Amino acid sequence: MKPEEKEGKPHYGIVNFERRKFPRFSVDLPVEYEKVNSFIPAGRVINISKGGLLIYFPERMEIGQHLKLRLFFSGAGSNVKVIEALVEVVWVEIDGGKELGDYRSGVKFIYITPQNMNCLKTFLINLS
């Protein structure tokens, strides 16, 4: 086969490339979020990474909306840890959860203190 014939031949197959920058870990953690100066203890974090979270909210969020979160999880020795972070909603599930009252949204970290990031990294290391 000539080289020019090989280049023009289409390639077929199944390829699944992971596009996420950070690996995700499945969790079920309580979270509070702030809109209009009051924390609302009603969301659940379903998966987590160093880059962001998948959260079930009791209300529909808007893409681009900024939220202040308080995330609760167990640390070493059963100590409950709380980290705070500023996040941005990057996607929302269209028409998802209306009947259940849960709205899936993906958020990315915009600002998290180095101390809180270290706490998050330690938590993720313990999950792997």
CATH number for the domain spanning 33: value is 2.40.10.220
Q: How far apart are the first and last CA of the chain?
A: 48
DSSP 8-class letter at 77: G
Q: Tell me the per-residue pLDDT of 12-54, one tens digit each, with 9 for 90 and over.
A: 444 444 466 777 778 888 887 776 455 665 788 889 898 999 9
User: Model-level pTM?
Assistant: 0.70
Q: Which amino acid is at 126?
A: N
Q: What is the mean pLDDT of residues 73-82?
A: 72
Q: Which amino acid is at 61?
A: M
Q: Tell me the per-residue pLDDT of 47-65, one tens digit each, with 9 for 90 and over.
A: 989 899 999 888 888 899 8
- Domain span including residue 17: 3-127
Contact 87, 109 (CB under 8 A): yes
Tally of domains in the chain: 1
